Structure formats: C-alpha cells, structure tokens
Amino acid sequence: METRFGRAAGSGGGLWLAVVLLSCVASVSSCALMPGYSSAADIAAENLAIADGYAGLSNFDKAASYYQKAARVKSYRNAAQWGLARSSAMLGDWDTAVTLLEGLLRQDGANRLVKEAFAYALVKKGDTERGLTLYKAIMEEETENATAAVNYAEALCIAGMWEESLSAAHDTRERFPEAEALSRLDAIELKCETELGLSQPATDGEAETPPATDTASDGQ
C-alpha cells in the first residue's frame, strides 16, 4: 500500500529493518563510542535509520522522535524533515506536517512529491483554498496525468465539495478511461454520493482508498 507521504507503514522489509536497527535504540549515545560511529553525521544516519524502522512498524510517535534527532545535522535535515512530516501526517498532526512540507517546498519548488503532499496536508488541515489552488496548478502541469486528476477529485471530496468532486471524477473517467488510477474513484464517488443522499453508505468492512504516492504519468 502506498500513501501520499511515500511508502506506507508495514511495507515489505519494515519489520526486518527495525529488528536490525533497534539493537542500538536503547542508547544511541553508546553507538557514538563504537568505532565508525564517532561523528555527528554517523549518529544522525543511525537516528534516521532507526526512525525509518519505527515508521515501518507504524510506531509514528517513536519515529518522529528519532527524525527530530536526525534533523539536527544539516546533511540529514531534509530527509529527516520529510520523514517527520510523514509521521506527523500519520498521527493527524496536520499543522506540523504543513509547516515542515512548506519549508521543504521553499527549498525545492519543483519537487512534485513534496508539492502533492503539501497540497494534501493543506486540505486535511482545513486550508481548502490554498490546497485546491495548488492541486489545480499540479493538474495544469500534468495535463496527461490521470493520477493528478484523481487526486484533485479526492481533494474536493475531503473538502466536502461533494458535487464538485463528482463532476471532477466524471471528467476524469472520460479523459482517462483506461488509467489504473481510476480504481480509486469508486470510493471517492461513493463517499460523495452518500453525503448527497444518492447512495447507501459503505459497510463496515469497506476501507477508504488511500491516496497515491506520486503523479507519474499513467493516462495510458
């Protein structure tokens, strides 16, 4: 499973990675006394790896604490802040996620992954106008990208703009009839139709479709 913020928790190898890395988790400072772990950069690298291990186990509180430690070293700051933004999002702390992602986007305004994550976080935070404006800009840049169009329909749904979301979903189906990303529209349309009283609500066993990671062109 993929999410807007990179690989999802529980992705393959997460448990193995955590078991290997957590051998140092009891005291990172003790690792600094070992050969090869003497520099601040080495400690930051270890903190970053431990954070990734915790994120792989869905322990985002622990992951966040180690990402914060790793971010103290400039050469690891961007990677650590991305991980911290992702962990904050998974914990529902959209204020922190927005702040971190906005800072990363200032450094690299062309980074599509960060841009989409920022737009998504804005909408989830309730800053609908800014989030949807950014989503529209992404769509204009990715005119042949079905995933970008689906993401926009999803953002409208999250913002409670049910009719607009359904209209965007319909347009996306017409423009990209064969795209794999269209599978996500079913849950989006059902949500909107349910809110508008046009459909029955989903059963308890039906899970919400997670957002996509990137907008690599898939409008085939």
For the entire predicted model, the pTM comes to 0.74
User: Do 180 and 217 contact (CB within 8 A), yes or no?
Assistant: no
CA pair distance 117, 101, nearest whole angstrom: 7
Total domain count for the chain? 2
Lowest mean pLDDT among 47-51, 96-100, 176-180, 211-215: 211-215
Q: Clarify whether residues 17 and 69 are in a common domain.
A: yes
Q: Clarify whether residues 133 and 58 are in a common domain.
A: no
Q: Clarify whether residues 74 and 148 are in a common domain.
A: no
Closest CA to 96 of 213, 210, 5: 5
pLDDT in tens, 38-54: 599 999 999 999 999 99
User: Do 91 and 60 contact (CB within 8 A), yes or no?
Assistant: yes
Lowest mean pLDDT among 79-83, 149-153, 190-194, 206-210: 206-210
pLDDT in tens, 139-163: 999 999 999 999 999 999 999 999 9
Q: Which residues contact 180 (CB under 8 A, 6 or more apart)?
A: 146, 218
**What's the domain range around 219?**
111-220
CA pair distance 194, 156, nearest whole angstrom: 15
Please give the DSSP secondary-structure letter assigned to residue 184.
G
